[in-house]
Amino acid sequence: MKKMLITITMLLIWVCGSIYAQTPTAEDILKNSDAVVNAPQDQEISLKMTLTDKGGNKKVREMKMYQKGDEMRLIRFLSPADQKGVSFLSLPDDVQYLYLPAFHKVRRIASHIKNDNFAGTDFSYDDMSASKYAEEYDATLLEKTDDLYILELIPKHGVEKSYSKLKMWVRQDNFYPVKVEFYDNKSTLWKLFESRNIKKHGEYWVASEAEMTDLKKQHSTKMITEKIKLNKGLSDNIFTKRNLKRVK
Q: Which residues would be at the binding site for other proteins (CB under 8 A)? A: 51, 53, 59-60, 80-82, 84, 93, 95, 103-105, 107-108, 110-113, 115-117, 120, 160, 217, 219, 240-242, 246-248
Give the residue with the Cβ less far from other proteins, 14 or 108. 108
**What is the Cα–Cα distance from 31 to 36, expressed in whole angstroms?**
9
Burial 93-111 (b: 16+ CB within 10 A, else e): eeebbbbeeeeeeeeebee
In the complex, minimum distance from the CB of residue 130 to other proteins, in angstroms, rounded to a whole number: 19
- Give min distance, CB of 63 to other proteins, in A: 14
Name the minimum Å distance from CB 220 to other proteins: 10
Return the number of the residue (38 or 129) whose C-beta is nearest other proteins.
129
CA–CA gap between residue 192 and residue 48 (Å, rounded): 19
**Residue 52 or 172 with smaller CB distance to other proteins:** 52
Instruction: Pick between residue 33 and residue 129 the one whose CB is nearest to other proteins.
Output: 129
State the nearest-atom distance from the C-beta of 122 to other proteins, in Å: 8
The alpha helices in 62-179, defined as continuous H runs, are 125-128, 133-136
Question: 193: Cβ–Cβ under 8 A, 6 or more apart, which residues?
Answer: 179, 180, 181, 182, 210, 211, 212, 213
